[in-house]
Amino acid sequence: MNRIFNFNAGPSTIPLEVLKKAQEELIDYNGHGLSIMEASHRSKLYEEVHNGAISLIRELYGVPMDYDILFLQGGASLQFAMIPMNLYMGGVAEYVDSGSWSSKAIKEAEIQGINYRVVASSKDTTYDRIPENIEFSDNADYAYITSNNTIYGTEYHEFPITKAPLIIDASSDIFSYPIDWSRVGMIFAGAQKNAGPSGLTIVIIKKELVARGGDKIPTMLKYKTHADKNSLFNTPPTFGIYILNLILHWIKDNGGIEAIAKNNQKKAKLLYDAIDNSGGFYVGHAKRESRSLMNVSYNIKNSDGTNNSALEAKFVQEATDAGMIGLKGHRSIGGLRASIYNAMSLEGVETLVEFMDKFQRENS
């Protein structure tokens, strides 16, 4: 078997134990003589997987009972449109612009012609930080943030306290640390970064927000449709939910979300220390206080402080040859990016850090 270290931003690495279990059960699930992929979404067999995933999310993430847990499709990107459609009530919607994904969410508010306001942005500094001095108004219909900016490698280390329901795009940091639910109206994520394969979107939403959706919303785009039917209004992405279920079991077996969070801190520290201790050879994109524990974006610098893109390309190539893929930065900022989601092992980060040290010695 030849498993590489996969630092891709998404779809991204999945725990080997989960893949092995899925492989083992692929042809004959639990002695039933068929794959879960082939089972009816109305069968008892599938129901256990579906409800098992929901109750594991509730248990591990500590989701209070006044929130619905929904399994939708259309990616996190469809949520950008569903949020204004369902949650805007004719007042004002407020957004923080902390990167490309926030901008895309704002664009959907614009398209729908709702009254919205961008209350803070870090665009002027190439999104190198979570904007400071964020001030949401108390009477907004909702307040919107992106908890982890996958491209720029920045992350909120605490959610803002808002009177308006806080809506959080946690596509790239869901299940990576415990949540203070008292601050949350809704959290959503495309599963393919930290929670499974693409094709599944997880939405955890306060019931009182579900109730907002009006009669003019197309059936499939209305949270209430899915909440009323336990996400079985139509065929859900059953295989993705099955893998999510296995990943949740993996989180539980590894001590739960607090233990996972500790491990994430350890991994991120190792990598940021390597960057900080490189004497300016490697330089992180994000300001220190905004650094993401999930996506580490950095550059290789010339002595005059400019990016050495030739050396960055060489780094990516040699890392690939050494069994580490996905380290090329997003095209919008270039450079390097290591995505070190829950499923990336400490060993993977250690291997990367050793490689970085060797690469620096050979090329400076």
Ligand X SMILES: *Cc1c(COP(=O)(O)O)cnc(C)c1O
Smallest gap from residue 288 Cβ to ligand X (A): 21
User: Interface residues for ligand X in 24-83 (CB under 6 A)?
Assistant: 75-77
Give φ, ψ of 198 to 5 degrees.
-70, 165
Considering the candidates 68, 97, 173, 193, report the single residue annotated as catalytic.
193
Tell me whether residue 250 is one of the annotated catalytic residues: no
- The CA distance from 37 to 4, in Å, is 27
Distance of alpha carbon 159 from the chain centroid: 15
Q: C-alpha distances in angstroms, 301 versus 122, 281, 283, 284? A: 23, 5, 7, 10
Among 356, 353, 296, 300, which Cα is nearest to 330's? 296
The one-letter amino acid code at 62 reads G
CA atoms within 13 A on the CB side of 193: 26
Nearer to ligand X, 286 or 311 (CB): 286
Smallest gap from residue 40 Cβ to ligand X (A): 26
146 binds ligand X (CB under 6 A): yes
Considering the candidates 97, 101, 128, 173, report the single residue annotated as catalytic.
101
13 binds ligand X (CB under 6 A): no
- The CA distance from 221 to 177, in Å, is 29
Site string for ligand X, 151-170 (x = CB under 6 A): ------------------x-
Nearer to ligand X, 76 or 257 (CB): 76
292 binds ligand X (CB under 6 A): no
Considering the candidates 169, 173, 222, 301, report the single residue annotated as catalytic.
169
Tell me whether residue 193 is one of the annotated catalytic residues: yes
Tell me whether residue 206 is one of the annotated catalytic residues: no
299 binds ligand X (CB under 6 A): no
Smallest gap from residue 73 Cβ to ligand X (A): 10
Site string for ligand X, 167-186 (x = CB under 6 A): --x-xx--------------
Distance of alpha carbon 222 from the chain centroid: 22
Q: Contact, 144 vs 94, CB < 8 A?
A: yes
Smallest gap from residue 132 Cβ to ligand X (A): 20
Nearer to ligand X, 82 or 274 (CB): 82
Site string for ligand X, 83-122 (x = CB under 6 A): ------------------x---------------------
Nearer to ligand X, 15 or 190 (CB): 190
Beta bridge partners of 328: 336
Nearer to ligand X, 172 or 290 (CB): 172
Nearer to ligand X, 150 or 263 (CB): 150
Sign of the torsion angle spanned by Cα atoms 331, 332, 336, 338: negative
CA angle 231, 221, 11 (to 5 degrees): 70
Nearer to ligand X, 122 or 146 (CB): 146
Under rule CB under 6 A, how many of the chain's residues touch ligand X?
12
Residues 6 or more apart in contact with residue 49 via CB below 8 angstroms: 36, 238, 241, 242, 245
150 binds ligand X (CB under 6 A): yes
Residues 6 or more apart in contact with residue 291 via CB below 8 angstroms: 153, 154, 155, 268, 272, 284
- The CA distance from 127 to 114, in Å, is 25
Site string for ligand X, 187-206 (x = CB under 6 A): ---x--x-------------
Task: Enumerate the active-site residues.
Answer: 101, 169, 193
User: Which residues contact ligand X (rule: CB under 6 A)?
Assistant: 10, 75-77, 101, 146, 150, 169, 171-172, 190, 193
